[in-house]
Structure 1
Amino acid sequence: MVHELFADDLRLATSSGFERVVIPATRLDHPVVEPENGRPWEANGTYLYGTVLPDEDGGGYRMWYNQNGMLYATSEDGIHWHKPALGRYVIDGQDTNYVFRRSPFTLNSVLYEPDDPDPSRAYKCLFSTGQRNFGVAFSPDGFSWSEPDGNPRLAFGSEVGNVVRDPLTGEYLGYLRRQLPRLEVDGLEGRRRVGLSTSTDFLAWSPLQAMINPDQIDDAWATEDWHRGEFYGMAGAPYGSQYIGLLPVFRVTDIYRPPAPGQSPYEGPIHCEFISSRDGRTWQRCSDRSPVIPNGPAGSYDAGAIMNVANTPVLVGDEIWWYYTAINTTHGGTRPPKNITIGRAAWRRDRMVGLRCGAGNATLETTDIVLGENSGPARLFVNADVTGGALRVELCQPNGRPLPGYVGARLRGDSLRHEVVWPNGERRLPDDVPFRIRFRGARATLFSYVVEA
């Protein structure tokens, strides 16, 4: 199956009249997880430098979140969460929902791999062991965790990290903050940035390599020497034929010297942008850098910062859900009123970014598609909003000439899954010749296409 988002230009041969746009998430007007009275271990906030996954039986959801260790919560609907007493860690005589606690321990990212030949490694965790390195842990059930000899296995990085697995190569990809932030920076040195470390066995990891850095656009707003753009962290996950990701962008607007008790010296808002990749290693930012998870209105739980996000999204019906750490104040806010909670962002399936055209005639062509005779009958489905507009689909040869019988299909309305049917009733795509898909439109937005056998 081919599943292509219009997130980059790699599979586009030509494009005219279309503009790439980010689609802001639908946010809830309340957090889904927040500190609760009677749970003193959550007093400093509930952070999601962690993971949300469906239940093993598909009947609900599980969350591994953070506050001086790894906490666990469950939900039937992904909105209302329960924090069970698990009998594993007792604090001041009170049972808690901790599943993994050690010192130092900051943040964690969890993978579930039920097909691992070693059942004791079905769950894998990458966690920061303080501010300068990362360790790994394994679990058969997501509750009982054990560390291998040799932690910290990653003797580099700082505080924030996420991990996914490449479905094509089998490699684990660790997206780590490269270094501790500094009050004084020299160009990129001292800024929060993201690097990549890889592993084939989750035990031995490659040296941390630069991956994505702030650029001149991130600093365009700066008017003082200490103003700068930084990347608080990053999450990326395989999706369709590519990777999608989220990049929290921190605008450092002030440095507090000294900060108040419990206050970060680094002040400023954090918003979240969309990024994409073809291999999980080389990432590109969207030409539209508007927030893909918008901060809430003044006074709301996420008004000041979208600080970090879960390592992977959750696909729920026709939606993409991505959970995030939310702050009601900017990063350097004082407590109170600063409150750190967990929010949920949602988009319709495939609709984090799209190609939009106006009233004029717009055209784009994909690169060559070759199915082959053994692929079986294949059909074409298009995710597009054509409300009030027009969109025609045709197939053409690599030289641009239309393929007879595959011209004049029209899409109307808004659908996540328009099936392309040509005027002669043909639904099947040709399997004996290479072809391109050509779209001609006005007042329409294209999000993705799927070639499905």
Structure 2
Amino acid sequence: MLAGLNSAVASRDFPGYPMAMISPVIPIVVCLVWGWAGALSAEPATWQAGPHLLLDRTVVAETAGLQRQVRPPSRMPDPLVTGFEDGNEQPYVSVVRDAETRRFGIWFNTPRPVGRGIAYMESEDGLHWLRPARLLKAPEAIGVGVSVIDEGPGFAEPSRRFKLGWHENDGLRLAVSANGLDWTPLTPGPVVRANHDIVGIYRDPLRQRYLAALSIVPGAGPYKGLRIPHQSVSTNLLEWRPPWPIITPDPRAEIERGETQFYGLSAVINRGSLLVAMVKVLRDDLNCEPDRTAADLGDKDRPFAGIGYTVVAWSLDGERWDRETQPFLDRNPQVGAWDRAMSWIDAQLVVGDFTYFYYGGYRWGHKAHRYTGRQIGFAQMPRDRYAGYRAGADEGRLRTRPARLGKAVQMTVNAEVDPEKGELRVRILDANGAALPGFDWPDCRVVKGNRVAHPIAWKGANATLRGKTVSFEFRFREGTLFAFDCL
């Protein structure tokens, strides 16, 4: 089953992608955008080196003839880590790649006589793991969670290169390690309080601080009794700001009408000026099989067994988050699949021209068969293709907001353009919206094909652009535009 996946990963130009993958990508149309797309925050002063993801709507000033789409990743059909063989018991997982050895490490929770333990495996490719899993000595009692940060081999304090976060005693606990295997508690108790057991820690490199994603259940108000993602930040891991809510149900979204709550914000990574994360949506008022009862699915104590899926979120300032409501990774549509009830992404990392996702999959429901029905799965996509703008046979256009070009004057484009029927061009506009000489439509070399970094070439000399305030306008048909970069 992995052979086709590996052959797709090896191809930079993605010939046939996603048909070469095990599961085809099915675009989800979110909205039809005409005219001004709106801005959610102040525009940047300078076009820095990116990437600039069109997931972020503030990059876009105007569109015509395009559909905005969420682009789901392609999943592998079988789990990577199982409950039966490997002892996985939770949907929480951390995966890092060592910057020197290039080996992947994975941490996940296993059941213990009291609480939970931490299991660890390594891999050369992030897909095939060396077994059996190694059971690590837990730093202290672990309620749930296994959130790991690797600061890298050059970290100033080698004995604290790795950080571990988990929930215990009504809050976020932390430990540090030199190797990710032997852990020492950072403090004797929680560093920040959270009354629900879903927590995660991440590094925000843009602001040089740590981010804690916390689940808190309000005791009053409109979200009373619901799991609501909160956030805190710290520069030293010891002093944390009081948590604030960052994700709530969207009453405008039909898919969230009902008992919508969340299994946390997770898998935070930096892409250009953004933090990109995953939000795990929980619907505890539904069953994965509509014709079955919760008892049929192994949950005899509740009226519904529950379902869950993942949506994508992003932040420009590291404190406020926007998100899609349509699933990024939906639960498996195949009846009887191991991830039929829940598909919750908990880790993501960029590997070459791809983004890898690791997710917790449930077969039956939220609380059913927890020791055997919860596995860790894998999905992937070409790098940075969370969402894009699609043009069909009729030409579409997209114009960015204006910003000044500093040292970055070379451009690449992340786009999937039909090699036979499609084409894409880019022109550069000055502050008044007029095309710059040498950088108009006829001056741009036509782009075709499927690459995450199509080089863009014009007849004009790129060096003349430095210091100018410009917008980029894309014109294309039979293709999808996801991102661009200024190098």
> Offset of 1:105 from its aligned partner?
2.7
How big is each residue's C-alpha offset from its partner over 1:212-265, in whole Å with a ceiling of 9 and x where there is no partner?
10121456565xxxx411111111221122121211111121699999998774
Does residue 1:12 correspond to 2:45, yes or no? no
Residue aligned with 2:440, SS: coil
C-alpha distance in 1 between matches for 2:125 and 2:157: 31
The residue aligned with 1:120 is: 159
C-alpha distance in 2 between matches for 1:321 and 1:116: 24
C-alpha distance in 1 between matches for 2:385 and 2:297: 42
Paired residue type of 1:244: V
Does residue 1:363 correspond to 2:397, yes or no? yes
The residue aligned with 1:23 is: 71
Preserved contact between residue 255 and residue 326 of structure 2 (Cα < 8 Å): no
> Offset of 1:309 from its aligned partner?
1.1
> Offset of 1:170 from its aligned partner?
1.0
Match of 2:416 among 372, 385, 389: 385
Match of 1:208 among 243, 248, 263: 243
Match of 2:80 among 1, 12, 32: 32
The residue aligned with 2:234 is: 199
How big is each residue's C-alpha offset from its partner over 1:329-366, in whole Å with a ceiling of 9 and x where there is no partner?
22243569x61110011011111211112333322211
> Offset of 1:393 from its aligned partner?
0.9
The residue aligned with 1:64 is: 107
The residue aligned with 1:173 is: 211
C-alpha distance in 2 between matches for 1:102 and 1:129: 9
Paired residue type of 1:203: L
Query: Which segment drifts farther, 239-248 or 198-207?
Result: 239-248
The residue aligned with 2:273 is: 241
Let me know the Cα RMSD of the aligned residues.
2.8
> Offset of 1:136 from its aligned partner?
0.8
C-alpha distance in 1 between matches for 2:474 and 2:164: 44
> Offset of 1:3 from its aligned partner?
1.5
Match of 1:188 among 223, 226, 235: 223
Does residue 1:400 correspond to 2:433, yes or no? yes
How big is each residue's C-alpha offset from its partner over 1:180-239, in whole Å with a ceiling of 9 and x where there is no partner?
8x9xx96311111100011110112111111110121456565xxxx4111111112211
C-alpha distance in 1 between matches for 2:483 and 2:340: 31
C-alpha distance in 1 between matches for 2:318 and 2:336: 36
Preserved contact between residue 219 and residue 229 of structure 1 (Cα < 8 Å): no
C-alpha distance in 1 between matches for 2:343 and 2:297: 22
Preserved contact between residue 48 and residue 323 of structure 1 (Cα < 8 Å): no
C-alpha distance in 1 between matches for 2:227 and 2:252: 16
C-alpha distance in 2 between matches for 1:169 and 1:240: 13
The residue aligned with 1:92 is: none
C-alpha distance in 2 between matches for 1:109 and 1:161: 8
Query: Which segment drifts farther, 290-299 or 275-284?
Result: 290-299
Preserved contact between residue 25 and residue 293 of structure 1 (Cα < 8 Å): no
> Offset of 1:149 from its aligned partner?
3.3
> Offset of 1:139 from its aligned partner?
0.7
C-alpha distance in 1 between matches for 2:177 and 2:125: 25
Residue aligned with 1:197, SS: strand
The residue aligned with 1:345 is: 379
> Offset of 1:425 from its aligned partner?
6.6
From the superposition, tell whether residues 361 and 307 of structure 1 become closer, same or farther in structure 2 (CA, over 3 Å). closer
Does residue 1:328 correspond to 2:366, yes or no? no
Paired residue type of 2:83: P
The residue aligned with 1:446 is: 481
TM-score w.r.t. length of structure 2: 0.79
Preserved contact between residue 218 and residue 228 of structure 1 (Cα < 8 Å): no
The residue aligned with 2:13 is: none
> Offset of 1:17 from its aligned partner?
2.1
Match of 1:289 among 306, 317, 326: 326
Residue aligned with 1:10, SS: helix
Preserved contact between residue 379 and residue 429 of structure 1 (Cα < 8 Å): no
From the superposition, tell whether residues 291 and 11 of structure 1 become closer, same or farther in structure 2 (CA, over 3 Å). closer
Gaps of 5+ in 2: 1-48, 111-115, 288-292
C-alpha distance in 2 between matches for 1:263 and 1:134: 31
Match of 2:343 among 294, 303, 306: 306
Match of 2:449 among 401, 410, 413: 413
Does residue 1:279 correspond to 2:322, yes or no? no
From the superposition, tell whether residues 411 and 203 of structure 1 become closer, same or farther in structure 2 (CA, over 3 Å). same
Preserved contact between residue 22 and residue 292 of structure 1 (Cα < 8 Å): no
State, as a whole percentage, how many aligned pairs show the same letter. Answer: 27
> Offset of 1:103 from its aligned partner?
2.5
Query: Which segment drifts farther, 260-269 or 426-435?
Result: 260-269
From the superposition, tell whether residues 399 and 195 of structure 1 become closer, same or farther in structure 2 (CA, over 3 Å). same
C-alpha distance in 1 between matches for 2:369 and 2:280: 21
C-alpha distance in 2 between matches for 1:415 and 1:127: 39
C-alpha distance in 2 between matches for 1:293 and 1:143: 33
Paired residue type of 2:57: D
Preserved contact between residue 396 and residue 477 of structure 2 (Cα < 8 Å): yes
C-alpha distance in 2 between matches for 1:241 and 1:153: 28
TM-score w.r.t. length of structure 1: 0.85
From the superposition, tell whether residues 253 and 219 of structure 1 become closer, same or farther in structure 2 (CA, over 3 Å). farther
